[in-house]
Amino acid sequence: MQSRQPLQRGNLQERTGALQGMMGKNSVGAQWGKISLRELGSALGGRQISGSPDTIIGGLSTDTRSITPGQMFLALRGENYDGHNFLKEAVNAGAAGIIVEAENNRYQELSVNNMPIITVSSTLEALGDLASWWREQWGKRVIAITGSNGKTTTKEMAASILSLKEHTMRSPGNFNNLVGLPLTILSLKQEHRTAVLEMGMNRVGEIARLTQIAKPDIGLITNVARAHLEGLGDLQGVAEAKGELLAEMSEDSTAILNGDDEKTMGLASKFRGPVITFGLGKINRVRAVDIRRVGDHAQAFTVCINDKNVPVTINLPGIHNVFNALGGAAIASCMSVQRELISRGLEEFQGAKGRFQVIPLSGDIIIIDDTYNSNPSSLMAALQALKDVKSSGLVIGLGEMLELGKESSKHHVDAGDLVARMGVRYLVVLGEHGPEIIEGARKAGMDRKQIHLAATLTEMTDALKGNIRDGDTVLLKGSRRMALDKVVAALEKHFGLHRGKKHAL
């Protein structure tokens, strides 16, 4: 990850003021297809090297594989790639121009044809600055959601509710970092009334920068748990990093916090504006009561919002999903959404891919795809939720949990212990810390014959194929880089979907 400096608000505000004058009193905000090269360069804080300043720009792309004619290509640099190596490919694909770092001279041969070129000191910083300006020009409500676990599901639940009220934009997939969040903001259109953005991080300073870019009106923290410890040190480091959202938010905005999470509530002092809490405790403004199981997988409960009751049913098991629903309901309550829309939006939500997604296969086999990510607390939540799923047998495939730093070995031993105590019939593990998972399972009494250490995804798949029986429930979970979604796909192909259907709880 590239080193970065905090957003210089003063400089950006000066450029915004100049741009507003440049765009005229009748401007309706930034819009692709109407913004000129001159205006774009000013918003980026860059220097125009060539091209007509009146050239109209149709969009922005950071990927030559998906660029369309009329878009500017912005050359990002990462740990394993450099967009400056693909400038000619961008031009050949129809790019209207390029945005590059001034110290990289590969653009010079393109300037001879008067190709629109803007240079900046850092393309990553420039992307954030442009998105920050775009957000100000758009000028409507932004909701930011962060936390160690549940932020994507909470985001999708909130968007499911809000979209019933107004045109709502949500972060797609994992567009929650210093590249994805700005690109999401730059896709905002005037018809959007609300944006629900997810903020992720793995080191200090990232949430602060994302908050400076997005300028949220509402900021929610789902929880603080042991994740990304490699970059943050310990649980307190995680809390401080999440607290950057509150420290950077305006006092005119509203903070929504998990009132049952001690570490999260410890951050409240960082915020100068109003705070709303959600949870199960009576002190919370938004809370759930009368939680009960409905059928095999769903849950019903009552959401109390300022002593007004909202009956809710969600098609997801596990108490952690009750908290996710409460977060979505709390956001909706801040926006005066009608109670019937809160209830309907949560009931219509069908889950997010790779996050406890249920896939019914032939032979009454159920695959639970929780492969998007894993850390100690999310694994515990997934295993707890399995208690609500009926099956004749339980099979688990675990990939290692990454970015846990010096505590990694301990957490993997603990994971094995948890799995063994679930009464699992068969366990397959993959990754460098797989032996530690096995150690924990063995100490908890699991027979070595019930455990397989796989060296590859293919070996993990084959081991599962040979040990899954009709009626089994199979959980696949690991950090994203373990790519266990490929195992899920292979098992789907091998066993076949039940009645050709695939759904999420």
What mean pLDDT comes out for the span 114-125? 94
pLDDT tens digits along 444-468:
999 999 999 999 999 999 999 999 9
Q: Is residue 263 within 8 Å of 275, Cβ to Cβ?
A: no
Task: Report helix, strand or coil for 451.
Answer: strand
* CATH classification number, 140-348, choose in 1.10.10.10, 3.50.50.60, 3.40.50.300, 3.40.1190.10: 3.40.1190.10
What mean pLDDT comes out for the span 355-377? 89
pLDDT tens digits along 63-93:
999 999 999 999 999 888 899 999 999 999 9
Contacts of 267 (CB under 8 A, 6+ apart): 221, 224, 239, 242, 243, 246, 257
Question: Considering the chain, what percentage of its residues have pLDDT values greater than 90?
Answer: 72
Distance of CA 375 to the CA centre of its chain: 15
Q: CATH homologous superfamily for 9-127? A: MurE/MurF, N-terminal domain (3.40.1390.10)
C-alpha torsion 280→284→289→291, nearest 10: -30
How many whole angstroms separate alpha carbon 29 and alpha carbon 36? 13
pLDDT of 16 above 70 = no
Look-up of token digits 């409460």: 326
For residue 174, what pLDDT is reported?
80
- Output the 3-class SS for 361-382: EHHHEEEEEECCCCCHHHHHHH
Residue by residue, DSSP assigns 333-370 as HHTT--HHHHHHHHHH----TTSSEEEEEGGGEEEEEE
Look-up of token digits 């959401």: 303
Q: What is the mean pLDDT of the chain?
A: 89
- When pLDDT is cut at 50, 70 and 90, the band that residue 17 belongs to is very low
- When pLDDT is cut at 50, 70 and 90, the band that residue 287 belongs to is very high
pLDDT of 236 above 50 = yes
- When pLDDT is cut at 50, 70 and 90, the band that residue 499 belongs to is low
How many whole angstroms separate alpha carbon 145 and alpha carbon 219? 6
How many whole angstroms separate alpha carbon 378 and alpha carbon 376? 6
How many whole angstroms separate alpha carbon 352 and alpha carbon 505? 9
User: How many CB atoms sit inside 10 A of residue 436's CB?
Assistant: 21
How many whole angstroms separate alpha carbon 317 and alpha carbon 435? 30
Q: CATH homologous superfamily for 357-500? A: Mur ligase, C-terminal domain (3.90.190.20)
- Residue ranges of the chain assigned to CATH 3.90.190.20: 357-500
Pairing of strands 286-294, 275-279: parallel
For residue 461, what pLDDT is reported?
97
pLDDT of 299 above 60 = yes
Q: Is the dihedral of CA 244, 250, 251, 254 positive or negative?
A: negative
- Residue ranges of the chain assigned to CATH 3.40.1190.10: 140-348
Residue by residue, DSSP assigns 299-328 as EEEEEEETTEEEEEEES--SHHHHHHHHHH
- Residue ranges of the chain assigned to CATH 3.40.1390.10: 9-127
